[in-house]
Structure 1
Amino acid sequence: MERLNAKEQEALGQVLEAKQLKEYLRMYSTLTQNCFKDCVQDFTTNKLSKKEGECIIKCAEKFLKHSERVGQRFAEFNAKQMSS
């Protein structure tokens, strides 16, 4: 990246930001789809039941912890590959 001029660095930064946003939105979409599918059972009311709400919270926490763990492992793997 040091070989790029300021304009190229800025353009690359914008591309990376756009990719990060896209990945964040994809992760959020997956989270909501999976947790909704697994937890929401009653469509006769516009509010979640207590059981559904608790399920959504547990599902989201589990998904986010898993995503964080995968990210950590990927970073460790990447660091190991870079040092080899």
Structure 2
Amino acid sequence: MDFSNFNSAEQAHMTKVIEQRQMQDFLRMYSNLVERCFNTCCNDFTSKALSSKEETCVNNCTDKFIKHSERIGARFAEINAEMMNASQSQS
């Protein structure tokens, strides 16, 4: 985003708002990851430790979730770059 038309106080405020939003998004993603992988993989409550099967499941689940999130982020960046190029070429 271009905040060049804002004064320095407004720019600082907008930066703070964006950082807070990014933290909320990260925490939401982390919470979703924990909930999804726990519900999918942890089903033996006879021990406080994970079984090897559960541990493998959790590792695979987290790897897939993180790779999926990275791919979505990369795709959004690609789309954003395309939109920026399109808007600059129209100017």
User: Shared fold (TM-score greater than 0.5)?
Assistant: yes
Which residue is 1:39 aligned to?
Answer: 41
- AA in 1 matched with 2:45: F
For 1:2 and 1:57, the matched residues in 2 are separated by 44
- Note the C-alpha offset of 1:5: 1.0
| TM-score normalised by the chain length of structure 1 | 0.95
Which residue is 1:29 aligned to?
Answer: 31
Which residue is 1:52 aligned to?
Answer: 54
What's the C-alpha RMSD, in Å, of the aligned pairs? 0.8
For 2:4 and 2:83, the matched residues in 1 are separated by 21
Q: Which runs of 5+ in 1 are unaligned?
A: none
For 1:81 and 1:8, the matched residues in 2 are separated by 25
| TM-score normalised by the chain length of structure 2 | 0.88
Instruction: Confirm whether residue 68 of structure 1 aligns to residue 70 of structure 2.
Output: yes
For 1:11 and 1:82, the matched residues in 2 are separated by 24
- AA in 1 matched with 2:55: G
Q: Which runs of 5+ in 2 are unaligned?
A: 87-91
Deviations 1:36-62 (A, max 9, x none): 011001012111111101110111011
- Note the C-alpha offset of 1:21: 0.3
Identity of aligned residues (%): 46
Equivalent in 55, 62, 80 of residue 78 of structure 1: 80
- AA in 2 matched with 1:68: E
- AA in 1 matched with 2:58: I
- Note the C-alpha offset of 1:27: 0.2
Compare CA radii of gyration and give the structure with the larger one. 2
Structure 1 runs of 4+ aligned residues shifted over 4 Å read none
